[in-house]
Amino acid sequence: MKEKRKGMLLVISGPSGAGKGTLVSRLLDKDPTFCFSVSVTTRERRENEIEDVHYHFISDEEYDKLLAEDAFIEHASVHGHRYGTLKNEVYERMERGQNVLLDIDPQGAKTVMAKEKECVSVFILPPSYHDLKVRLHTRNTENEEEIQRRLNNAKGEIQQMNKYRYLIVNDDLELAFDQLMAVVRAEKQNSVRYIPEIEE
């Protein structure tokens, strides 16, 4: 049988500091069948971030233009900044059979889960609020006010975790990554994405 299938849309979400970015970059290193959907954002670029690799950093005017052009699959205001997933980062690649990975906040994930029923949604949970707080401080990429805002938002976000197909507690990173890879391995065999084409 020739294998012909559509790509998987893998949606990774969870509160800020849970470890989404860490797990996502490991997955991208390990599995070349995945490509990352680079989002647009109006927030400032951090020192370690690369334009068009981590985000497309754009102005409010450019963001408004994309909104007017209906360029987004989803978009949301997250912790005071605007973010959006571009259709042209996702659909063509999936049609070509490529797997596409989104790292988006729970508001955006809700929209994508409603629109794309076959997406594989994974919620990353921290072991505790205490750990979340420590991780955000250790990461050292936000000021105290930003950290507080992210911690306050985490409570509401975590209440939505049962809306996702999979839940992974990121306590031990190795274990969490193994669990994510187990989800990916199983979902690659999900029959929904296979296009029937059996030779005589």
What own/partner pairs with CB < 8 Å and gap ≥ 24 does 179-188 have?
A: 180/23, 180/27, 180/122, 181/27, 181/30, 181/31, 183/120, 183/122, 184/8, 184/10, 184/27, 184/31, 184/120, 187/8, 187/10, 187/120, 188/8, 188/33, 188/99
Query: Which is closer to ligand 5GP, CB of 56 or CB of 188?
Result: 56
Question: Contact with ligand ADP (CB under 6 A): which of 9, 10, 11, 18?
Answer: 18
Residue 16 touches ligand 5GP, criterion: CB under 6 A? yes
Rounded to whole angstroms, what are the CA distances from 6 to 2, 29, 39, 45, 57? 13, 21, 22, 33, 30
Which option in ligand ADP, ligand 5GP, none does residue 43 bind, with CB closer than 5 to 8 A by kind? ligand 5GP
Q: Which stretch binds ligand ADP (CB under 6 A): 38-46, 69-77, 113-121, 133-141?
A: 133-141
Size of the site for ligand ADP (CB under 6 A): 14
Query: Which is closer to ligand ADP, CB of 16 or CB of 107?
Result: 16
Could you tell me the smallest distance in angstroms from the CB atom of residue 13 to ligand 5GP?
6
Could you tell me the smallest distance in angstroms from the CB atom of residue 68 to ligand 5GP?
17
Residue 139 touches ligand ADP, criterion: CB under 6 A? yes
Q: What is the DSSP letter of 184?
A: H
Return d(Cα 127, Cα 129) in angstroms, integer. Answer: 7
Could you tell me the smallest distance in angstroms from the CB atom of residue 97 to ligand 5GP?
23
Q: Which stretch binds ligand ADP (CB under 6 A): 12-20, 84-92, 93-101, 161-169?
A: 12-20
Question: Contact with ligand ADP (CB under 6 A): which of 93, 135, 149, 163?
Answer: 135
In the sheet that holds 120-125, the strands lie side by side as 34-36, 99-103, 9-13, 120-125, 166-169
Return d(Cα 67, Cα 51) in angstroms, integer. Answer: 20
φ/ψ (deg, to 5) at 187? -70, -25
Q: Which stretch binds ligand 5GP (CB under 6 A): 62-70, 87-95, 105-113, 173-181?
A: 105-113
> Which residues sit at the interface with ligand ADP, rule CB under 6 A?
14, 16-22, 135, 138-139, 170, 173, 176
